[in-house]
């Protein structure tokens, strides 16, 4: 199993938002979010490793039975899609950690307004406010 880059473990020196220092309470909140994002990153990395091993048939080689091979090939296609989804989510989580470190976490990348705390709680790597996310979907 791979481990997440240790650079993510280092705490940022001074957490800021728009170049302004944050209150101690807000810094603690951001550090908690950052730590949960790191845990999420580790979980996703483990999942991706397992998916990759399954697709490569590391533990279970392809069957000699032609019908079974067809089923395994179908399963591999599903695993490929799950791997793509995991890689995408890993990238979103890494970007969220970078936004925390650079002082842009919680701000909509489209309109610059604050992202609702409820949205961030449900989707901690959200980069858009709900209004802009809905507009992007349409």
Is the whole model's pTM more than 0.85, yes or no? no
Same-domain check for residues 92 and 117? no
**Helix (H, G, I), strand (E, B), or coil: what is residue 21?**
strand
Confirm if 72 and 63 have CB atoms less than 8 A apart.
yes
Is 121 in the same domain as 84? no
Could you tell me which residues are beta bridge partners of residue 37? none
Alpha helix (H) ranges present in the chain? 24-55, 66-102, 117-122, 130-137
Query: Over the stretch 71-85, which tens digit does the pLDDT of each residue have?
Result: 888 888 999 999 999
Query: Which residue, chain included where needed, has tokens 């533990």?
Result: 59
Q: Do residues 56 and 75 share a domain?
A: yes
In a domain, 92, yes or no: yes
pLDDT band (50, 70, 90) for residue 107: very high
């Amino acid at each position: 199993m791979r481990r997440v880059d240790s650079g993510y473990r280092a705490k940022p020196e001074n957490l800021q938002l728009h170049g302004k220092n944050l209150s101690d309470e807000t810094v603690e909140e951001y550090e908690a979010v950052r730590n949960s994002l790191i845990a999420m990153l580790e979980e996703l990395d483990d999942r991706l490793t397992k998916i990759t091993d399954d697709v490569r048939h590391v533990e279970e080689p392809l069957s000699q039975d032609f019908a079974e091979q067809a089923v395994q090939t179908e399963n591999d296609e599903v695993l490929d899609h799950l791997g793509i989804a995991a890689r995408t989510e890993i990238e979103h989580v890494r970007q969220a950690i970078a936004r925390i470190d650079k002082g842009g976490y919680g701000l909509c990348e489209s309109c610059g307004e604050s992202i609702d705390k409820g949205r961030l709680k449900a989707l901690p790597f959200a980069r858009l406010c709900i209004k802009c996310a809905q507009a992007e979907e349409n």
